[in-house]
Structure 1
Amino acid sequence: MTSQDTQDLGSTREKLIDTVITMLNENEQGRMKVQDIAKRAGLTTGAIYWCFKDRRDLIDTARAERYIKETLASMQASREEFEENARQGIPNVRGRYVVEMLGNPRLRRERVQVLAAAMTDPALGAAVRVAQQKIMAALVETFTSAQAAGIFRPDIDPVSLGAFVYSFAVGYAAIDLLDEAKPDPNAWLYLIGCVVQAFEVHPSPDARSAGMDFVHPQSPQ
């Protein structure tokens, strides 16, 4: 394969992924036949099989790309929010990322699907690992800054704290199928606030002050 072929392959692959992400966002999953995707992208069906093993491979890859982009964008927003609160002396690890993970069933469900697909697809697994590393790096840097600002105790390992908060945020996916026994999202956030107090140099008088209120969940997509 020449360098031009490689460039064309990458460009076509990216166009197909962007097309499927758009169709997913528009809830057009029922119209995602190979012919529909190719027509929407302005390409031939052969282009799909040139870039991907099959239709399922393309859709899984697009889901992963969407999940990675949304997660990193949410994580960045949370980081900026945390840093602004830190400047005001307000601890808040329950930022936008945690709240959106709780309030968006589709995002949690997609995360499980993406991680499952990544276990059998080396290329997808590599992309997901990069995203996970970026999330952890952002969390660790944020908590390290909070320690330097005197908000969090200096004896707490920021890497362990990052892993703790990350697992709390995504762990809610494990109980999505529960009914009566499913905890209330506000109670879940309140619990996070209570636990976070153990990390603070000067614990807040109320665990709720450690984070924002929960926004009502979006409808599943």
Structure 2
Amino acid sequence: MARKTREEAEQTRHLLLDTAEQVFWDKGVAGTSLSDIATAAGLTRGAIYWHFSNKLDLFNALCDRIMPQLMTLDEALLDESTCPALRLWQHGHAMFALLRDDPRIRRICGIHHLGCEQVGEMAPLLLEQISWTQEKQAKLHQVLLSAQAQQLLRPGIDPRLAALGLHSLYGGLMHSWLLTPEDDTIHQQLAALLSPYFEGIFKQGCWLPPLPPATE
């Protein structure tokens, strides 16, 4: 019986997270109360407080659901067995493919970018976002330092500034697409959008995947 109770509690937790994801997406975080989420899930407000201490706790749990996929992207980014310039190129494409193909990641990223005011009870998110941004830029910087060591960067390129620029480029393209997700131009033309930046920091073509062997 105890095991069944734990399983039911876990099912309720997942239901609350699924519901919060949709309601936050529809109404924004500031415009959503815990009572709204409970009502939409067909549960009592007390059921939410059994699993989450407040809206921030629930929101963080929501974001934790997509962390394994994002960590997989970062693991590939930091895999030193591959050319660093090529890793960065592939990382950008993999990131946008995940955003396009996974509705949950698209909604949670959309909530972060468009539907979450980092004020009031959600103010701690600002510090978390700053920390996450610094961590992401540090990973890009690490890869660009490796590229510099392999003499893949153009003369005069500062890896730290290049990491800041690349992170900003990714963030800007993501934000633009989330504003109009029905427009697939960014995904269809991602190579054309990224190429000018890569051409500006890397030597000729070293970021491009190798061509398949010619067939006779």
* 1:95 partnered with 2:93: no
Amino acid at match of 1:190: A
Which of 102, 108, 111 is the equivalent residue of 1:110?
108
Kept in 2, the 8 Å contact 1:91–1:210? The answer is yes
Output the CA distance in 1 between the equivalents of 2:51 and 2:83: 48
Distance change >3 Å, CA 72–CA 21, structure 1 → 2: farther
Output the CA distance in 2 between the equivalents of 1:37 and 1:146: 53
* 1:4 paired residue number: none
Output the CA distance in 2 between the equivalents of 1:91 and 1:22: 40
**Residue pairs, 1:20-39, within 5 angstroms:** 20=14, 24=18, 33=38
The sequence identity of aligned pairs, in percent, is 14
Distance change >3 Å, CA 29–CA 141, structure 1 → 2: same
Output the CA distance in 2 between the equivalents of 1:98 and 1:160: 21
Q: RMSD between aligned alpha carbons?
A: 4.2
**Residue pairs, 1:179-194, within 5 angstroms:** 182-183=184-185, 185-194=187-196
**Residue pairs, 1:11-160, within 5 angstroms:** 19-20=13-14, 24=18, 33=38, 45-48=48-51, 51-53=53-55, 57-68=56-67, 70-80=69-79, 83-86=80-83, 91-105=86-100, 106=103, 107-115=105-113, 116-117=115-116, 119-120=118-119, 121-160=122-161
Output the CA distance in 2 between the equivalents of 1:98 and 1:163: 18
Amino acid at match of 2:128: A
Structure 2: gaps spanning 5 or more residues: 1-8, 24-36, 211-216
Shift of 1:142: 0.8
Kept in 2, the 8 Å contact 1:196–1:210? The answer is no
Distance change >3 Å, CA 75–CA 84, structure 1 → 2: same
Q: Deviations over 1:92-150 (max 9, x none)?
A: 42223542224424434422412453622222222222222211110111101110111
Distance change >3 Å, CA 178–CA 66, structure 1 → 2: closer
TM-score where L is the length of structure 1 = 0.60
Amino acid at match of 2:61: A
Amino acid at match of 1:64: C
Query: Matched residue of 2:88: which SS?
Result: coil
Kept in 1, the 8 Å contact 2:137–2:163? The answer is yes
Amino acid at match of 2:81: E
Aligned length: 180
Shift of 1:23: 5.0
Structure 1: gaps spanning 5 or more residues: 1-14, 213-221
Kept in 2, the 8 Å contact 1:197–1:204? The answer is yes
